[in-house]
A and B are shown apart, each in its own frame.
Chain A
Amino acid sequence: MKETILKTNQLTKKYDNFTALENVNIQINKGDIYGLIGRNGAGKTTLMKVITTLTNRTSGEYELFGEKENVLEKKKRIGCLIENPAFFPNLTAYENLKYYCFQKGIADKNVIDEVLELVDLKEAKNKKFKNFSLGMKQRLGIAFAILDSPDFIILDEPINGLDPIGISKLRDTFKKLNTEKNITIMISSHILSELYMVANRFCIIEKGKVIKELSKEELDTECSKCIVIKTDDTKKASVVLETNLKTTNYKIINTNEIRLYDYLNHAEKVSKELISHDITIMGLYETGITLEEYFKTVIKEEL
């Protein structure tokens, strides 16, 4: 069983009459790249701020690395980039990271060059932060987050303001950190398609509530092109699919629905076969949606 890095239980944050987070329950396991998706103001940053103790929770609790009580001590195993990257404008990239090396008690200053190289900022290491472009600031923020080789990094909209090449490089960096250094990542964005390319688990949040938590495979299933078969006997229908149509590429969604991922241009063949075996078909149609459409659908359902 995988180690649990973060687990929240009914986490709630209220600002006077406004509820920013409502009974949030999520779980992030070791090795996950956990994508937090939501519109602006959905509660993504608030959730991250509560976890990193930048704001106090109203109720509920959370565990970090399996501990409820000693959360502050466990914070040392976390690297963060919350909201916009914030550093001292008159210090260079190198000096800013050196400041945090002193602060975190990192004796080996070579790590600064290593992380700067990882985020492609080695050339700009002696440039003052105030002269950085937005993309460079974001990358320095990521360099800061991974400075002391944390086990878990929390990144709040890190691709904001980056150009497509920058986004692609960053994506590779995240994957590299995840696979080579075994770092668990929690990353937020309001662009599902971007998160899809890097994350393996997703959480859709809207108005402070978690409305869906799913794996990449489940998301693929939800979005991929398929034939939806509505029937009152999914068991019998699945036998026909396997024995007569020779396919196992289907999924039983509920007692009345099967999603078939084969025979995409031959729906009539599927229909004929099922009817010939006395299976009542209440509906049969092709479907398939883009990630953005899926996101909109889920959000609308909630609204």
Chain B
Amino acid sequence: MLNMMKADMYRILKGKAIYIIFVFLILTSFVSAIGISPGHIGMSTSSGSAIDINDAEFVEKLSKAKSLKDVREVIKSKGAFELDKAVIGTNANLYYLFIVLVVIVLCTDFSNKSIKNTLSSAISRKKYYGSKTLLIFLLATFFTFFNTYFFYFLNIIINGKEFASSLLEVTKVTILELPLLYGIISLLICFAFLFKKTSTFNTVAIPFILGLQLVVIGITSLFKIKADWFYNYEFQFALEKIAQNPSTQYLIACTVLGIFYILIFHTIGYYSFKKSEIK
């Protein structure tokens, strides 16, 4: 399994995608640090942001700001807050980077059909599944912590210590998010083994989170169903809440949910792969 992972790392480092992930993370960190606001893809409660749209005076000041410098001054005047934790709260954005990771580690093998070379003479399906999954998890963990620490130090340099929490605190929050992040990565791995082709995988995976949110919100508002469970435990909302010092009970529930996702998606993914014909 180690040989397999070593081979994949050699191949991945020869490509461009991994470096694009670095550049993307660095750029988004700069945007969030300079704008003093974490960026969101998808729906958000925006509770971690400094921009409170209900504060009319604040919004008016923002609208009158003529430059980025003015915007920063207006936000800073509102008072300091833990921007680094707010950014960790938007780690659902990493979902799209995880898609890239799954594609470069796994889907490429299916699309190029090079998986035949590996399975026909090198290793068993079990080891193949294990090594690919482990490598994706390791790379995802690395990028998640890179995102956390890079932003932590960049934020201190650009905005000062008053907008930062402690290094220990950001590490703790990131670790608490890991079970849910691993759960969602497991979903992507499951998709990859089910759909195999990169194009099909992308078609399903890219809009999945947004689509799910839209469908659930649509149904709950149409039938006037109370959807607290959804807002509490949906992937994106849950990650935001974890960064806002929730109760221990909530953290345990999120960890259990993450473990449940990991188990269920790997069971489906592995058994579908085990039975499938490699074309």
A, B: real partners? yes
Name the contact of A52 in the complex, choosing from B4, B15, B119 (C-beta under 8 A): B119
Give me the interface of B with A, judged by CB distance under 8 Å. 3-4, 6-7, 10-11, 14-15, 108, 112-114, 116-125, 275, 277-278
Give the shortest distance, in Å, between A299 (CB) and chain B (any CB). Answer: 27
Q: Are B120 and A103 in contact (CB under 8 A)?
A: no
Q: Are B116 and A83 in contact (CB under 8 A)?
A: yes
Enumerate chain B residues within 8 angstroms of A88, measured Cβ to Cβ: 11, 108, 112, 114
Enumerate chain A residues within 8 angstroms of B275, measured Cβ to Cβ: 56
Q: Are B11 and A91 in contact (CB under 8 A)?
A: yes
Q: Which of A78, A79, A86 has the most CB of B within 10 A?
A: A86
Q: How far is the CA of A77 from the CA of B125 in the complex (A)?
A: 17
Q: Are B121 and A78 in contact (CB under 8 A)?
A: yes
Enumerate chain A residues within 8 angstroms of B10, measured Cβ to Cβ: 98-99, 102
Name the contact of A80 in the complex, choosing from B108, B114, B121, B124 (C-beta under 8 A): B121
Q: Are A100 and B7 in contact (CB under 8 A)?
A: yes
- 0 or 1 for each of A57-94: is its CB under 8 Å from B? (1 = yes): 00000000000000010011011101110111111000
Q: Are A78 and B112 in contact (CB under 8 A)?
A: no
Give me the interface of A with B, judged by CB distance under 8 Å. 49, 52-56, 72, 75-76, 78-80, 82-84, 86-91, 95, 98-105, 144-145, 150, 154
Q: Are B4 and A103 in contact (CB under 8 A)?
A: yes
Given A49-B277, A72-B124, A91-B11, 18 additional A-B pairs, CB 8 A:
A54-B278, A55-B278, A56-B275, A75-B124, A78-B121, A80-B116, A80-B120, A83-B113, A86-B112, A88-B11, A95-B11, A98-B10, A99-B10, A100-B7, A103-B3, A103-B118, A104-B3, A104-B121
Q: Are B120 and A53 in contact (CB under 8 A)?
A: yes
Give the shortest distance, in Å, between B10 (CB) and chain A (any CB). Answer: 5
Q: Are B278 and A144 in contact (CB under 8 A)?
A: no
Q: Are B121 and A52 in contact (CB under 8 A)?
A: yes
Q: Can you spell out 16 A-B residue pairs with CB atoms less than 8 angstroms apart?
A: A53-B125, A54-B119, A75-B121, A75-B122, A76-B122, A79-B121, A80-B117, A86-B113, A86-B116, A88-B112, A98-B10, A100-B117, A102-B3, A102-B6, A103-B3, A154-B120
Q: How far is the CA of A100 from the CA of B117 in the complex (A)?
A: 9
Q: Which of A56, A86, A91, A103 has the most CB of B within 10 A?
A: A103
* Given known A-B contacts A54-B277, A100-B7, A84 and B113 have beta carbons under 8 A apart: yes
Q: How far is the CA of A75 from the CA of B121 in the complex (A)?
A: 5
Q: How far is the CA of A82 from the CA of B114 in the complex (A)?
A: 10
Residue in chain A with minimal CB distance to B9? A102
* Given known A-B contacts A82-B116, A86-B112, A103-B4, A55 and B277 have beta carbons under 8 A apart: yes
Enumerate chain B residues within 8 angstroms of A76, measured Cβ to Cβ: 121-122
Q: How far is the CA of A105 from the CA of B117 in the complex (A)?
A: 15
Give the shortest distance, in Å, between A226 (CB) and chain B (any CB). Answer: 42
Enumerate chain B residues within 8 angstroms of A89, measured Cβ to Cβ: 112
Enumerate chain B residues within 8 angstroms of A84, measured Cβ to Cβ: 113
Q: Are B121 and A102 in contact (CB under 8 A)?
A: no
Enumerate chain A residues within 8 angstroms of B114, measured Cβ to Cβ: 86-88
Residue in chain A with minimal CB distance to B115? A86
Enumerate chain A residues within 8 angstroms of B4, measured Cβ to Cβ: 103
Q: How far is the CA of A169 from the CA of B121 in the complex (A)?
A: 25
Q: Are A102 and B7 in contact (CB under 8 A)?
A: yes
Q: How far is the CA of A144 from the CA of B121 in the complex (A)?
A: 10
Q: Are A53 and B119 in contact (CB under 8 A)?
A: yes
Name the contact of A99 in the complex, choosing from B7, B123, B278 (C-beta under 8 A): B7
**Which 8 A-B pairs have CB atoms at the shortest separation, nearest pair first?**
A102-B7, A86-B113, A52-B120, A103-B7, A80-B120, A55-B277, A54-B278, A105-B3
Q: How far is the CA of A54 from the CA of B123 in the complex (A)?
A: 11
Q: How far is the CA of A86 from the CA of B278 in the complex (A)?
A: 12
Enumerate chain A residues within 8 angstroms of B123, measured Cβ to Cβ: 103
Give the shortest distance, in Å, between A171 (CB) and chain B (any CB). Answer: 23
Enumerate chain B residues within 8 angstroms of A52, measured Cβ to Cβ: 119-121
Enumerate chain B residues within 8 angstroms of A144, measured Cβ to Cβ: 117
Residue in chain A with minimal CB distance to B109? A88
Enumerate chain A residues within 8 angstroms of B277, measured Cβ to Cβ: 49, 54-56
Q: Are A99 and B120 in contact (CB under 8 A)?
A: no
Q: Are B122 and A104 in contact (CB under 8 A)?
A: yes
Give the shortest distance, in Å, between A268 (CB) and chain B (any CB). Answer: 58
Q: Are B124 and A103 in contact (CB under 8 A)?
A: no
Enumerate chain B residues within 8 angstroms of A54, measured Cβ to Cβ: 116, 119-120, 277-278
Enumerate chain A residues within 8 angstroms of B124, measured Cβ to Cβ: 53, 72, 75
Q: How far is the CA of A104 from the CA of B118 in the complex (A)?
A: 9
Name the contact of A100 in the complex, choosing from B14, B119, B122 (C-beta under 8 A): B122
Enumerate chain A residues within 8 angstroms of B116, measured Cβ to Cβ: 54, 80, 82-83, 86
Q: How far is the CA of A87 from the CA of B113 in the complex (A)?
A: 7
Give the shortest distance, in Å, between A211 (CB) and chain B (any CB). Answer: 25
Enumerate chain A residues within 8 angstroms of B11, measured Cβ to Cβ: 88, 91, 95, 99
Enumerate chain B residues within 8 angstroms of A56, measured Cβ to Cβ: 275, 277
Give the shortest distance, in Å, between A69 (CB) and chain B (any CB). Answer: 14
Q: How far is the CA of A100 from the CA of B120 in the complex (A)?
A: 12
Give the shortest distance, in Å, between B276 (CB) and chain A (any CB). Answer: 9
Enumerate chain B residues within 8 angstroms of A87, measured Cβ to Cβ: 112, 114, 117
Residue in chain A with minimal CB distance to B15? A90
Q: How far is the CA of A79 from the CA of B10 in the complex (A)?
A: 22
* Given known A-B contacts A95-B14, A99-B11, A103-B7, A78 and B113 have beta carbons under 8 A apart: no
